[in-house]
Amino acid sequence: MNFLRKKRPLTLVLGGTGKTGRRIAERLSAGGHDVRIGSRSAVPSFDWDHEAGWDACLKGVTAAYINYSPDLAMPGATDAIQAFVRKAKAAGVKRLVILSGRGEPEAQACEKIVQESGLQWSVVRASWFNQNFSEAAFLDMVLAGTITLPAGDQLEPFVDVDDIADVAVAALTQDHHDGQVYEVTGPRLMTMHEIASELSNAIGRDISYVDVPHDAFVAEIADSGAPKEVVWMLDYLFSTVLDGRNAHLTDGVQRALGRPPKDFRDFARDVAKTGIWNAAATAPA
C-alpha cells in the first residue's frame, strides 16, 4: 500500500554563508530542519542583483530568513525587499524573518514591507556585531594592534552574532514569535576604548583605540580598494547611526530566548582561544 508522505518544511537562508546566515543554517540543520542556502555560490544561486533567479530559490520553501547585503540602509534595498516578499508570497512561503539594523530609518522601512506582507513575520533588529572584530571589517585592525575608527567616546551595546542566530532560529521554527520585533543588544554599553581594553585582556597583548577624523577614515577605506558599497555603508554607519541614538540596552534576547545576551568579555575570551588574533604575532617578519 502506498502512503503519502508529508512534505518536510524547507527554510531558505539568505546570506547563508555569511556571519549570521551560516550560523542559522548550521543550527537549523542540527535541529533536523531542511535548509536551502541562499548565496551566489549555492545551487540554485541567489543574487540580490539577479531577480530572475529568485523563483528557483523559493520553490518549495515554507520559511525564509532575509539578510540583505550589504545593509538595508543601502539605496534600492526597499525595492529589493518588496520584490522578494512579493515573489515569496507567490511561491507559497508562510513565514519571513528579517535581519534589520537599529536606528536606521531605511531598515525600518524594509521591516514594514515584511510586516505588511500578509505572511507570518518576525523582525530581528540588531546592534553592531561583536564579530566585526573577529570575522569582518575590523579584524585587520585588531591584528595590527590599533583600532582606528571615527567613533569617539560613543556608546554602543555590541551584540553577539550567536545570539542573533539563536533568536532567528527560534523565530523561524516556533509559532509564538510571529509578529514580534526583537531588538537585540549585548548586556552593556561600551566605548571603543573599552572594546580595546577587553581585547587586550583576552589576547594578552596591547590593543589600542585611536579616534580618527571621519572624512580621513572614509578616504582611507576608499583608497584601500574596498567596494564602493562598503565605503558608502561605513560612511553612513559612522556618520548617522553611531550618533548616540542607539546608546541604550534592550531586552530582545531575553524576551526571545529566556536568557541574557552574551557579554563582549566572554566573546573575546572565546575567540582568543581559537588563536585567530595571534596571526600578527606569528607572521614572519
Instruction: Flag the least confident range among 1-5, 29-33, 181-185.
Output: 1-5
Alpha helix stretches (DSSP H) within the chain = 19-30, 54-58, 77-90, 105-115, 139-144, 161-173, 192-203, 214-223, 228-236, 252-257, 264-274, 279-282
pLDDT band at 137 (very low <50, low <70, confident <90, very high): confident
Average pLDDT over residues 110-131: 98
Q: What is the pLDDT of residue 240?
A: 86
What percent of the chain stands above pLDDT 90? 87
Which residue ranges form the domains of the chain, and what is each CATH number? Answer: 10-280 (3.40.50.720)
Instruction: Say if CB 261 and CB 159 are below 8 A apart.
Output: yes
Instruction: Say if CB 168 and CB 15 are below 8 A apart.
Output: no
Looking at residue 86, its amino acid is R
pTM assigned to the model:
0.94
The dihedrals phi and psi of 207, each to the nearest 5 degrees, come to -120, 120
pLDDT band at 280 (very low <50, low <70, confident <90, very high): low
Q: Does residue 44 have a cis bond before it (omega within 30 degrees)?
A: yes
Instruction: Say if CB 167 and CB 28 are below 8 A apart.
Output: no
pLDDT band at 5 (very low <50, low <70, confident <90, very high): low
pLDDT band at 192 (very low <50, low <70, confident <90, very high): very high
- Please classify residue 215 by burial: count the beta carbons closer than 10 Å to its beta carbon, then call 0-12 exposed, 13-18 middle and 19+ buried: exposed
User: CA 37: distance to chain centroid?
Assistant: 16
How far, in Å, are 71, 96, 161, 279 from residue 134 at the CA level? 19, 29, 11, 12
Region of 32 (left: φ > 0; alpha: ψ -120 to 50; beta: rest) is: left
Give the containing element (helix H, strand E) for 184. strand 180-184
Q: Is the predicted pLDDT of residue 282 greater than 50, yes or no?
A: no
Number of other CB atoms surrounding residue 148 within 10 Å: 17
As given in the structure block, the three cell numbers for residue 107 are 531598515
Strand partners, 146: 208
Given CA atoms 159, 162, 83, 111 in this order, what sign does their dihedral have? Answer: negative
Average pLDDT over residues 125-150: 95
Residue burial 48-86, b: 16+ Cβ < 10 Å; e: rest: beeeeebeebbeebbbbbbbbbebbbbeebbebbeebbe
Q: Is the predicted pLDDT of residue 284 greater than 50, yes or no?
A: no
pLDDT in tens, 262-274: 999 999 999 999 9
The dihedrals phi and psi of 23, each to the nearest 5 degrees, come to -65, -40
